[in-house]
Structure 1
C-alpha cells in the first residue's frame, strides 16, 4: 500500500505538499481572524444591548414606582372619603 498525501479542496496537489500546507495554514489563519472579528462584533453588540436594556429597565422600574405611589395616594384618599361617608351615614341613621 502506498500512502497518498491528502490535499483539501482548493489546495491543489500539483505544487507539492509544502505549498498545500502553506495554503491550508494561510486559509486557517484567515478563518481564525474572521472568527475573532465576528466574536468581537458580537461582544460589542452584546455590551451595547446590555447597556440599553439596563437603562430601559431602570426607567421602567422608576415609572412603576411613580405609578404605584400615585395609586397608593389615590387609594388612601378614597379610603378616607369612604370612612367619612360611612360616619356621615351612621350619623344620619341616628337622627
Structure 2
C-alpha cells in the first residue's frame, strides 16, 4: 500500500523500483520458507526474515530520509538478538 501511494505521489524513480523489487522478493522468500522448509530450519529462517524486515524499517528507512541511525541500529540489533534467542530456545524445548 505504501509503495502504491509513493508511486501515485512521486512517479517512477530508482527508489520506487527498488522498493517494489524488495517487497516482491520478500514475499517470495516468505512463501518459500512457509511451504518448502521444515523444522528446525523453518524457525531460524523465520527469525532471519523478521530481522530483514526490521532492518528495512528501523535502519534503511531512517537512512533514506536522512534521520538518525543509532537508535534504529540499537533496536534492530536488540530485536534480532531476541528473535534468535527465541528460535534457539523454542527448538531446544519443543519436540519435533
- Tell me which of the two structures has the higher relative contact order, counting C-alpha pairs closer than 8 angstroms and 6 or more residues apart: 2
- TM-score w.r.t. length of structure 2: 0.31
**TM-score normalized by structure 1?**
0.31
Structure index of larger Rg: 1
